[in-house]
Amino acid sequence: MVAFLRAIPVENIRLSAVVLAEIAQGVENNPTPELKEFLADVLALPLAEFGEMEALEWGRITSAALKQVSSLELRDSFIAATASARGWTVATRNTRDFTLLGVQTFNPWIEQM
């Protein structure tokens, strides 16, 4: 993921506040030098906050998805709403959950840019 992020111009990257929280939690759970460095790298990226536009989009996309499944991963649904509200693509290994929420995905672990 680090190589993927470094290959994209910073002006084309936005980090979801939820993703930042997930990374911070990972570093707290396993404070290796590599993860600490990764956290420091992502702290330099522009942050996409979760505000009114994203909250309204979250309501729309989760309502639609819950007609197909009985539960959703809350954190992923917040990330998806942020991307969906802004027309962004989510870079993730977990393409299934985001596709269910109607968000375009890119898996940098298996796809080429």
CATH number of the domain encompassing residue 98:
3.40.50.1010
The domain in which residue 16 lies consists of 2-106
Split at pLDDT 50, 70, 90, the class of 8 is confident
87 sits in the region (left: phi over 0; alpha: psi -120 to 50; else beta) called left
> Which band of pLDDT confidence, cut at 50, 70 and 90, is reported for residue 2?
low
- Cβ atoms of 69 and 100 within 8 Å: the answer is yes
CA 15 to chain centre: 7
38 domain-assigned: yes
Residue 113 lies in a domain: no
Taken in order 9, 106, 43, 39, the sign of the CA dihedral is negative
Segment 8-31 shows an average pLDDT of: 88
Instruction: Tell me if 92 is assigned to some domain.
Output: yes
Tell me how crowded residue 57 is: count the other CB atoms within 10 A of its CB.
20
Tens of pLDDT, residues 53-109: 999 999 999 999 999 999 999 999 999 999 999 999 999 999 999 999 999 999 988
Query: Is the separation of the CB atoms in 62 and 2 below 8 Å?
Result: no
How many domains are contained in the chain?
1
Looking at the domain assignment, is residue 33 inside a domain? yes
User: Residue 1's pLDDT is what?
Assistant: 59
Residue 111 included in any domain = no
Q: Does residue 18 sit within a domain?
A: yes
Does 27 map to a domain? yes
For residue 34, the model assigns a pLDDT of: 92
- The residue-averaged pLDDT of 20-32 equals 94
